[in-house]
Structure 1
Amino acid sequence: MATDKIEETIKEIAVKHGIAVGRDDPILILQTINERLMQDSAAAQQEILDHFKEELEAIAHRWSDDAKNKAERTLNAALTASRETMTQTMQEGAKSAAELIRREIKAASAQFAAPIHEAKRVALMNLVAAGMTIIAAGLVLWAASM
């Protein structure tokens, strides 16, 4: 392969410059050195590119992890806020329901308060009447025994 390149170089020099160069010409040494330097340079550049690629992949992976962590924190914060809002809404609903039940019970007890009061008054009058009946019966018995 190196021989083919040397032959091509000899032909190119002859075509372009009209000079015949032999295989042992010192100009070909420069060509060989130049090729070697270019190969070494290409290998070094490839190594640098590979290292750069690894760094970019590491940075991309780190960014991905950071984005994932931030998304998780945001999601957790949203869930916490949602949970707190639900708890607060449930507490407000429970307070509202308790107040509504309290008002309904108060209204129902107000409806029964007057009849209960009337029943107490009637019961008290019955007791007074029963007491008067007993006293009257006692007086009748006393008057009959005398």
Structure 2
Amino acid sequence: MDPFDDLIREIGAKHGIAVGRDDPILVLQTINLRLMHDSAKAQQVQLDQYKEELEGLSQRWGNDARDKAERILNASLAASKDAMQKVMEEGARRAAAALVGEVNALLGAAAARAGDARKLAWLNVFASCVTLCAAAIVLWSVVR
């Protein structure tokens, strides 16, 4: 089936005019079809170029977004690392202060006990001296 036969029948049915195959209207139809075909090819080329440009832009935007996300992630990791470092340093300072406090308390208690032991030792020396004096007096009274 030829598209011109369909066109000849359609012109006859709608307009009541008989058109032959050598009619200039069919030449115009041929030119019109050729122009539409060439236009469709040109539009397809333009669409392909546009598609390539869009794909390039999409890829560039994706890369930019990924780079920005990586920079944000690295910045947040650095910030959290700094925060963790500060928390750890503060915890170490508190632990060291607590340890120093405990050691000082134990040393204070040990010093107090050492002072008590020194007093007790002096009392023992004094008691020994009193006992020695008493023994000397008893010995002197027995010898005399």
* Common fold: TM-score over 0.5: yes
Unaligned regions of 5+ residues in structure 1, if any? 134-146
| Structure 2 counterpart of 1:57 | 55
SS of corresponding position for 2:50? helix
* CA shift for structure 1 position 118: 4.0
SS of corresponding position for 1:24? coil
Letter in 2 for 1:99: A
Q: CA RMSD in A?
A: 2.0
| Structure 2 counterpart of 1:89 | 87
Letter in 1 for 2:56: A
Q: Percent identity?
A: 52
Equivalent-residue separation in structure 1 for 2:90 and 2:25 (angstroms) = 95
Letter in 2 for 1:12: E
Equivalent-residue separation in structure 1 for 2:57 and 2:48 (angstroms) = 14
| Structure 2 counterpart of 1:66 | 64
* CA shift for structure 1 position 66: 1.1
Equivalent-residue separation in structure 2 for 1:75 and 1:11 (angstroms) = 71
Equivalent-residue separation in structure 1 for 2:113 and 2:39 (angstroms) = 110
* CA shift for structure 1 position 5: 1.1
Equivalent-residue separation in structure 2 for 1:114 and 1:53 (angstroms) = 90
Equivalent-residue separation in structure 2 for 1:21 and 1:62 (angstroms) = 58
* CA shift for structure 1 position 60: 1.1
Alignment of 1:1-146 (within 5 A): 4-120=2-118, 122=121
* CA shift for structure 1 position 104: 0.5
* CA shift for structure 1 position 119: 3.9
Equivalent-residue separation in structure 2 for 1:104 and 1:114 (angstroms) = 15
TM-score, structure 1 length as denominator? 0.78
Greater displacement, 94-103 / 8-17: 8-17
* CA shift for structure 1 position 115: 2.3
Letter in 1 for 2:75: A
Equivalent-residue separation in structure 1 for 2:111 and 2:47 (angstroms) = 94
TM-score, structure 2 length as denominator? 0.79
State how many pairs are aligned. Answer: 126
Equivalent-residue separation in structure 1 for 2:113 and 2:10 (angstroms) = 127
Letter in 2 for 1:111: A
* CA shift for structure 1 position 62: 1.1
